[in-house]
Amino acid sequence: MRGLPVGPRTLRARLITGVLALLLLTCGGVSLATTELLRHFLVGRLDQQIAAAGARYAASLEHAGGPNAATDTRAQAPGTFGARLLDGRVTGAGVVDGDADDADVAAGDRPADTDDRVDLSAADQGHLAALPPDGSAREVGLGRLGDYRVRAVAGRDGDVLVTGLPMSPVEATTNKLVMVELLVFGVALTATGVAGALWVRLSLRPLKRVADTAERVSALPLGCGEVTLSERVPDEDPRTEVGRVGSALNRMLGHVEQSLARRHLVEERLRAFAADASHELRTPVATVRGHAELALRHPGPVPDEVRHSLGRIEAESRRMGAIVEDLLLLARLDAGRPLAADQVDLTRLALDGTADARAVAPDHHWRLDLPAQPVLVPGDADRLRQVVANLLANAAAHTPGGTEVTVHLASAPGQVVRLAVTDTGPGIDPELARQVFERFVRGDRARSRATGSTGLGLAIVHAVVTAHHGSVELTSRPGRTVFTVTLPATA
């Protein structure tokens, strides 16, 4: 099972993603640094305010209604927290709320601790009791009152006076800064992504032209025939990396074009030589064979050694004639000579070919699996008959006696016809299976020569089927070998 993609695949997407990732990390670092610096600055200002306020408000909680109570309360900023502790126990705590009741306190109409008093939970009192009275500022949580920055100092009566200011303004300011930074950085990331995508697209345009050229070249049929390789990369600026790649690719395409031209010239010469040699050899081979047959029919006494030699001459001349005919046929197919386009009944060819194979190899078990109706294809009847004959001869020659060979013919969906020859022999070696349709390839060289095989039978099958715009495939394993021919059906 293939894993799911974990990131962008194209170079453009990776570059844009990388730029945005780096920008996101930079923005995140800047945001963290500015937020932390601002918070540190605000907390420092808060500590200065606490130090300036001293312990006057906390002391006023001890002397409620005293002559300085109104002044001590009025001098404090709203939200100021004060507490008095004696022997680790909170004896009084309050928060300046800054409402109208503080005016009454300032006028002396009511004591300072009647309106601003607060009740602290046991946990809050424990937090305050744990503060060291050394005058250093610390941050504590006071339950429903929230977080406070507090400072504890020793009082005149052996008590501890705690003064604090709320952290909520600091938190509100830092939160507002974070929201502003998120908005600004979000806009910056979006704008950078759009601008970066356009810029990367523009910058990678030469590389895209290189890739497009390579794709067009890869789609060209370079396997055989004359090839005109005119594709070139337009960008060859040696000052850029892409330009150097384009220049190297153009040089490589030039070398490939020259090599293909030389290969085509050599192929043409070889085809011409094979065709000329085959054509010229037909007459002398036929002459040798005729003289051998005539000598064997001599009415007079012929020594056994001479008769044996004449028989060998006749057999080898027949074999040489078959090779010449096969080479000539391949040369004609290579030259692209048109084949006949008649209506061919593959059912009849399968019947005739199987009957001939049964007569030649009676020790094999021949089976037919044919449809009830005739299967017609357009093509050359003689050449297609040779395809069937070669496939059956190959099965007879390369499998032991008792092997079952089945000829299956059927019309498949998609306007194609499939002819399959299946045998239950030992199979074909995987190394040989990859080149079985090449010329002069033999599965067993010694036995092939003994049975008269030229190594051209399957090559002719491939060439004839290809000339009919079809295909031939091989699948093989021990106990089952299948040659499948696929041909266009009659419209």
Q: Give the 3-state secondary structure of residue 137.
A: strand
Read off the amino acid at residue 127: H
Largest CA distance in the chain: 165
Compute the distance between CA of residue 218 and CA of residue 214 in angstroms, rounded to an integer.
Answer: 6
Q: Which residue has 């030649």 as its token pair?
A: 360
> Is residue 482 within 8 Å of 476, Cβ to Cβ?
yes
| pLDDT for 405 | 95
Per-residue pLDDT of the chain (491 residues; tens, 9 = 90+): 455 455 567 777 888 888 888 989 999 999 999 999 999 999 999 989 988 888 888 887 765 544 444 445 556 788 889 999 988 888 888 888 766 454 444 444 444 445 578 888 889 889 888 899 888 888 999 888 899 999 999 888 888 999 999 999 999 999 999 999 999 999 998 998 899 888 888 888 888 888 888 888 877 777 666 667 777 887 667 787 778 888 888 888 888 888 888 877 777 776 677 666 666 677 787 788 787 887 878 777 778 788 788 888 888 888 787 777 777 777 777 777 778 888 999 999 999 999 999 999 999 999 999 998 888 999 989 889 999 999 999 999 999 999 999 999 998 766 899 999 999 999 998 888 888 888 777 665 444 444 556 678 898 899 899 988 899 999 999 999 999 999 998 76
Q: Residue 352 corresponds to which tokens in the numbers above?
A: 């005739």
Q: Which residues face 161 on adjacent strands? A: 84, 153
User: Long-range contacts for 465-472 (Cβ within 8 Å, ≥24 apart)?
Assistant: 465/387, 467/333, 467/339, 467/383, 468/339, 468/377, 468/378, 468/379, 468/380, 468/383, 468/384, 472/437
Compute the distance between CA of residue 231 and CA of residue 257 in angstroms, rounded to an integer.
Answer: 10
| pLDDT for 447 | 42
| pLDDT for 66 | 46
Compute the distance between CA of residue 364 and CA of residue 404 in angstroms, rounded to an integer.
Answer: 6
Compute the distance between CA of residue 246 and CA of residue 388 in angstroms, rounded to an integer.
Answer: 50
| pLDDT for 69 | 47
Give the predicted TM-score (pTM) of the model.
Answer: 0.49
| pLDDT for 63 | 58
How far from 250 is each of 10, 126, 230, 389, CA to CA, in Å? 24, 82, 10, 48
User: Long-range contacts for 117-121 (Cβ within 8 Å, ≥24 apart)?
Assistant: 117/61, 117/92, 117/93, 118/93, 118/94, 118/145, 119/93, 120/83, 120/90, 120/93
How far from 163 is each of 50, 145, 168, 209, 234, CA to CA, in Å? 7, 14, 16, 73, 78
List Cβ neighbours of 76 (8 Å cut-off, separation of 6 or more). Answer: 53, 56, 57, 82, 96
| pLDDT for 38 | 92
Q: Give the 3-state secondary structure of residue 323.
A: helix
Please count the other Cβ atoms lying within 10 Å of the Cβ belonging to residue 359: 9
| pLDDT for 113 | 45
H-state helical runs in 136-240:
168-203, 205-218
| pLDDT for 217 | 80
| pLDDT for 290 | 82
